[in-house]
Structure 1
Amino acid sequence: ITWGADGAQYTGAGDNNNRDRTGALVESPLSFFKISGTPDTLNCTHPETHHNQPSPQCSNISLRGANIVVTHDDPNHCPVWHNGIPNVKSSGVLSLGGTLYWAVSCFNYGDDKVFNRQRYGPAWILTSTDGGATWNKTATPPDMFEGRLAAPRFVQYGRDNAGAPDDYVYVYFPSTLDG
């Protein structure tokens, strides 16, 4: 989650069932949300749902743009999930200079023999200059982060990263296998 230049917070999420603009239920590995207001005005309850994001009862959380199926230039870049949807997860997001930078990663379910959970693969960054309504899906190469660098997260320094100690962006990576 990041604090945008406009004062709203932005975050990506995965494993989503959302309503598209026509009201039809759409499954997507990625969706992006804008959160406005204060914790008191979100009015969220979390009834048991199957990956309904955000909960239909939440106010001041809005889906930005269309559900996102990210394949970069190569539709075979990430392993395929059911219904032909690529296995992609939201990693980290950063607001800097009014631009949103969203890191996304390929992943595989169940091929990690130790924990039998997802293992992240290559990752790249998408950019948006309109608050997440549209995305440049090829802002970086699809293998910008690969090997042991998986699922990048950005270190946050306040609203639009204004409190950063220098001109660098700091990224950290959880372990993909053994660190």
Structure 2
Amino acid sequence: MNKDGMPTMSSTILHPLSSSPEPLKIVLDTTFTSSDNIFLYHKTINRKIYDDARRRTHLDLIPGSTSKDDIFDVLLYNERNEITECSISNIAVEFFDNNKPFWKTPEIRCAGLLSGVMRSYLIEIGDVTPGEGRKIKCFNSVRKEYQVVLVDKTMPQIVRAPHI
């Protein structure tokens, strides 16, 4: 709504995801995001937390566009070094139990993240459960699910996020 209480609408071009079978690259934020920030728990137009994370990691502010380094998104973490979410998606991490893979997503009560429509749906149907893990996929209700790999922008090798 504008300042007069009238509804307003805006749009952004949604860049298509690569058709490559390779996971999209994400980078760890350069600083933690405080889990007590109320805007982490409610879907609003206030994207400052996410836009600031994209700026710190030199990513375009248009969500979903890739940088010159082919970095797609930034992975946020809280003051306890727990990964929480990316700037445009929720995340899940792969685990194995008796060689059977399953996916866990960070718990809202301790992490500081937006619940997300797709995240809630995947929990409801049993495709992901709240918890910790290793391999990462991202998802939102627009792009659905996609694999990502965490990279260090200054080094070519894959790195691990704190407390995955």
Superposition TM-score tier, normalisation by shorter sequence = under 0.3
> TM-score, normalising length from structure 2?
0.25
> Larger relative contact order (C-alpha < 8 A, sep ≥ 6)?
2
Task: Give 1 or 2: higher helix fraction.
Answer: 2
